[in-house]
Chain A
Amino acid sequence: MLSFNSSNIASKTKTISRRMFLLNSIKAVVLIGIFGRLASLQINEAKKYRSLADKNRFRETKFAPPRGVIKDYFDKEIASNTRIYQLHITPENTPNIKKLLVRLKSLINISDRKIASIQKRIKKQKKWETTIISDNLTWSQFSKLNLFLHELEGAQPVVSVARVYNNNASAHAIGYVSEISPRDIRNKKYLKNLDIPGISVGKTGLESTLDEEMLGSPGFLRYEVNAYGKKIKQVSIDNGLQGKTFRTTLDDDVQVFASKLLENVSGAACVMDIYNGDIISMVSSPSFNPNSFIHGIERKEWNDLLSDRDKPLINKAISGLYPPGSTIKILTALSALENDIVSSKLTVKCEGYIDLHGERFHCWKKKGHGIVGMRTALKKSCDVYFYEVSRRLGIDRLAATAEKFGLGKKVLQNYSEEKKGVVPNTKWKIKELGKNWYIGETLHSGIGQGYFLTTPLQLSLMTAQIANGGFKIQPRILINKNDKFSNLQKFLNHKNSTPGNVMSADDQIFNFGLQPLFRNQENINLVKDAMFAATNEVGGTSYRSRHKKKEFMFAGKTGSSQIKRFTPEQREAEVKQENITYLERDHAWFVAFAPVSDPKYAISVLVEHGGSGSSAAAPLAKKIIKKVLEKHEKRSRHSNGLKENV
């Protein structure tokens, strides 16, 4: 029994030991596995997991840096930044949001509707995300809040920076900013990864086109959070970089002046330097308050803007399309001369109408102008004369000249809202309307009616390129530090420094590499002289608006673009423009250059439904011209940031 027991024990021990050995081997394998896993996590992939841990641990809030500023030519800020007072709440720090909102409602006047939308927004957000309750408080509201802050648990008064526009005059040229919308994110690539809720982005004008550069680089606040997203401590802060500042060619002073002048009409005015193409002024009327958009526009104000008959939100200077009316006669005459179709000596007898191809074409003057030559025809804007000229010229040649002088294409590259307009010709009509061109349409086109569509800016460019002697200029509204003097500017500087040194047109072109738009500069001069007559000689269409003082004397051409043809009865009754319905009245045009002795600026003024150019547009142009010329010296003295390219 005992021996059995002993041997039993020994044998059992043997079995146990053998099997234990096997288990120990398994243990070794398991240990190796655990070691391997540890090494792979902590040595091979440590970097990956460290970054994942940091991602867990840190949260960043981005904030917008101050937006780049837009200045005028004299470095005055047109679109600047201002300190604003905001109220934020963070739900996780707010014990009772409802109560807080009720209390705030009585303190700073929040509408019930706004409260409802805030509550909705809070529900959608994470509880540590900040919600802006009010983003533009007045100082008195802000100080009131700070006074009662002890009973407003969770409310945070914040001082921030936002856009401000100093006046409404440049609302169209500069544009406006407003809260980013899903549509902005869809349309603009650079906004896709911006991820700053509620940031203001440019919506129209330069604010829109320069948006990316003016946004700057966002700042961020990095803080540590725990697993529940609660802020533990701030880790780092980066204030970001302010966006780029832009200087424009605009003169804020002139902008305000012109805008005020156009206050009571619907229209636009553009002033351009005829040598370097600088746009001194570009206003559209009626204007609107761009500041209304910054913090979200009130529904009523928005609806009013949308339903306004005069379309305040449209920049009429570049997006308004109007038939050029009689202002095109400058080009009709020029084109005919340049193409040797007629000589300047051509005379035509105007009896108030002309019958051509079985159709009667009326002159604006029922009694007719009698026998007129080209100079008089332009001066008095005789339609019959230009019917005859354009009949001989043909639409295609007229169109070629019009395109050469800048019609039918965008003047600037800085505006997505700018329109091209229409310069019709035979091919265009077949392509766009699928119909053949009729000779009658040529006659209408020759006096700027029919299919022709232009913007005020295009006509100011046209006038500028006539006024500077017929040379091509590249209009600009932004001043780039790297811009070089244009060839024309160099020529001008040369001319100013050596008075009396008269250079032939060929020499000018050769020596300064100018781009002439003419074949014979004489033709340009003829047209310019006729424009002089139109303003400064008795019987000229804008004679009543002339400046008598030599330094302000200008030369211009009126125009009125027909909205609706007169019926024979109206024509017979000599119905006055002011007696017909507003929306059926003609648009009034005036284009001019000044001063006549040494042209420097070109202007175009459009008054929608103004009736006639001479009565509605020219008087406005006269005042703007004076204002611009008065500032000329200051402007030429002011460093324009250009470097002489030697």
Chain B
Amino acid sequence: MYSRHNTTFIRTFSLKEKFFNLDLILLFSILLLGVISIFAQYSSSGGSFDYYSKSHALRFGIFFILFLGVAFTPINFWHSTSFFIFLILVFLLLFVKFYGIQSQGSRRWVNLYIINLQPSELMKIGVILFLSNYYHKISEGDVNKVRFLLYPIIAILAPFILVLSQPDLGTAILILLSGVVVTWLAGVRWKIFAYLSFAAIVFAPIAISFLKPYQKSRILTFLDPDSDPLGAGYQIIQSKIAIGSGGLFGKGFLNGSQAYLNFLPEKHTDFIFTLFSEEFGFIGSVLMIFLYFLITYRIIKIGNETRSIFGKLYCYGFANAFFIYVAVNMSMVLGLLPIVGAPLPILSYGGSSMLAIMLGLGIVMSCNVYKNSAVG
């Protein structure tokens, strides 16, 4: 009853205790995925340690240490700074909007000297953090009040629109979905989602008119990939050929002809799963999906065990977001969704994406390490 004033909950943990509080299954799953990702990048570079595979390995090493650092940082810290983090990210997005590095027709990166950071990737976590914090604070009765709906809507739509205008449809959608999932978990009524969806559908044609031609063509191609086999449909077709030709057992490590002979587009990033699937076949792919499933499951489990609403919302929100990243990427390369540009967590090459995922996982782990400490 007086738990809030009980000092035992605010005590600091020894490093040894902290270590034993780590979810080791989650930890080793992440490590395993990281190791696999290095091999996948190695294969993607045609079987050599070139720029891509080297920097991927290096980043994974650094970000894994960062992940441990975040994990050992009290969850309270993340709770209390979540609003601030969110603001910084919004600021960075605005900064990118005007001063960002432009590449291939979109402005997504901010030059931080050590790294070209993509704030939109971090925003995928930022929005979850912010909303978890927000719903942690307000009472359940207020959740569905219009006044209290305003903040979440702004918190979701502002980064969504900023990222969409970069333009980066894929990341924008992932930010939107991550945010929506948290608000949904917090108990926002069905009706409200229905209204908002209706409004979205009404405004969709207007939104589509703002899409870049290449984005429109991607959506059209998804509906009929064979209509333009050497244009936008090329990626989907080649990806399906690569995966299909992998068969049950795959072509073997470094033997994926589609990837090796460059038929596969963006094989380092969005299509890394295609490469993996071509080389390791159905069995390898199923094991890979299982690994992602295991990670998702462990995150949910941590969420289950976390007492604080913030922790729960964050873990569940992140688990869902993580699952969405995986599902969207895989559906995309399998030709189930249009190519929107969504990396596969950890496996795909890309510093910002990996950084976001590792930070996100770190905060989850922090929930586990400090699962018995109060948040507030």
Which A residues fall within an 8 A CB radius of B? Answer: 2-3, 6, 8-9, 11-13, 15-17, 19-20, 23-24, 27, 30-31, 33-35, 37-39, 41-43, 45-46, 48-50, 52-54, 56-57, 224-228, 232
Contact = CB atoms under 8 A, between A and B. Distances in A.
B309 A43 contact: no
Contacts of A27: 296, 320, 323, 327
A56 B234 CA distance: 12
A49 B312 contact: no
Contacts of A45: 244
B187 A43 contact: no
A179 B244 CA distance: 42
A16 B241 contact: no
Contact of A49 (B184, B245, B282, B303): B245
Contacts of B187: 12, 15-16, 19
Contact of A35 (B185, B243, B289, B316): B289
B286 A38 contact: yes
A39 B246 CA distance: 11
Given A27-B323, A53-B258, A46 B184 contact: no
Nearest to B257: A57
A43 to B, nearest CB: 6
Given A24-B300, A53-B257, A19 B185 contact: yes
Given A34-B334, A37-B334, A49 B243 contact: yes
Contact of A56 (B1, B241, B303): B241
Contacts of B323: 27, 30
B293 interface: yes
Given A19-B187, A20-B303, A41 B244 contact: yes
A6 B374 CA distance: 12
A39 B334 CA distance: 11
Interface of B: 1-2, 4, 135, 139-140, 181, 184-187, 238, 240-248, 257-258, 261-263, 277, 281-282, 285-286, 289, 293, 296, 300, 303-304, 307, 309, 312-313, 316, 320, 323, 327, 330-331, 334-336
Given A39-B282, A49-B245, A31 B293 contact: yes
Contacts of B327: 27, 30-31, 34
A460 B320 CA distance: 96
Contacts of B336: 33-34, 37
Contact of B1 (A2, A12, A31): A2
A19 B184 contact: yes
A13 B316 contact: no
Nearest to A28: B293
A58 to B, nearest CB: 9
Contacts of A16: 185-187, 309, 312-313, 316
20 contacts: A8-B139, A8-B140, A12-B135, A15-B140, A23-B316, A30-B323, A31-B289, A38-B285, A39-B282, A41-B244, A43-B247, A45-B244, A46-B248, A49-B243, A53-B245, A56-B241, A56-B257, A224-B257, A225-B261, A227-B261
A46 B300 contact: no
Nearest to B323: A27
A54 B242 CA distance: 10
Contacts of A12: 135, 140, 186-187, 309
A131 to B, nearest CB: 24
Nearest to A33: B336
A9 B257 CA distance: 55
Given A27-B323, A46-B248, A232-B261, A34 B300 contact: no
B29 to A, nearest CB: 17
Contact of B245 (A6, A50, A225): A50
Given A34-B289, A37-B331, 19 more contacts: A12-B140, A15-B186, A16-B309, A19-B185, A27-B296, A37-B335, A41-B240, A49-B241, A50-B244, A52-B245, A53-B258, A54-B245, A56-B258, A57-B257, A57-B261, A226-B262, A227-B262, A227-B263, A232-B261
A9 B186 CA distance: 11
Q: Which of A12, A24, A33, A37 has the most CB of B within 10 A?
A: A12
A42 B277 contact: yes
B133 to A, nearest CB: 14
Contacts of A34: 289, 327, 330-331, 334, 336
A13 B135 CA distance: 11
B312 A13 contact: yes
Nearest to B328: A30
Contacts of A228: 262
Nearest to B326: A34
A57 to B, nearest CB: 5
Contacts of B296: 27
A56 B184 CA distance: 46
A43 B282 contact: yes
A46 B277 CA distance: 12
A634 B231 CA distance: 71
Contacts of B289: 31, 34-35, 38
Contact of A42 (B139, B181, B184, B285): B285
A393 B244 CA distance: 84
Contacts of A232: 261
A2 B244 contact: no
Contacts of A20: 185, 300, 303, 316
A27 B323 CA distance: 8
Nearest to B283: A42
A42 B140 contact: no
Contacts of A24: 300
Contact of A38 (B1, B282, B307): B282
A29 to B, nearest CB: 10
Nearest to B234: A227
B249 to A, nearest CB: 9
A36 to B, nearest CB: 10
Nearest to A53: B245
A34 B185 CA distance: 24
B244 A42 contact: yes
A39 B285 CA distance: 10
Contacts of A38: 243, 277, 282, 285-286, 289, 334
Nearest to B247: A46
Contacts of A53: 241-242, 244-245, 257-258, 263
Contact of B261 (A42, A49, A56): A56
A227 B140 CA distance: 57
Contacts of A57: 257-258, 261, 263
A417 B303 CA distance: 91
A16 B300 CA distance: 12
A8 B238 CA distance: 53
B365 to A, nearest CB: 19
A228 B316 CA distance: 45
Contacts of A46: 244-248
A56 B229 CA distance: 13
A49 B316 CA distance: 38
B257 A11 contact: no
Contacts of B335: 37
Nearest to A22: B184
Given A30-B327, A226-B261, A35 B286 contact: yes
Contacts of B281: 42
Nearest to B245: A53
A8 B140 CA distance: 7
B330 to A, nearest CB: 5
Q: B241, B242, B323, B334 — which one has the most chain A CB atoms within 10 A of its CB?
A: B241
A23 B185 contact: yes
Nearest to B261: A226
B369 to A, nearest CB: 20
A56 B247 CA distance: 17
Most chain-A CB neighbours within 10 Å: which of B244, B289, B307, B334? B244
A19 B330 CA distance: 25
Contacts of A9: 307, 309
A54 B247 CA distance: 13
B241 A52 contact: yes
Contact of B243 (A3, A17, A41): A41
Nearest to B263: A227
A3 B285 CA distance: 50
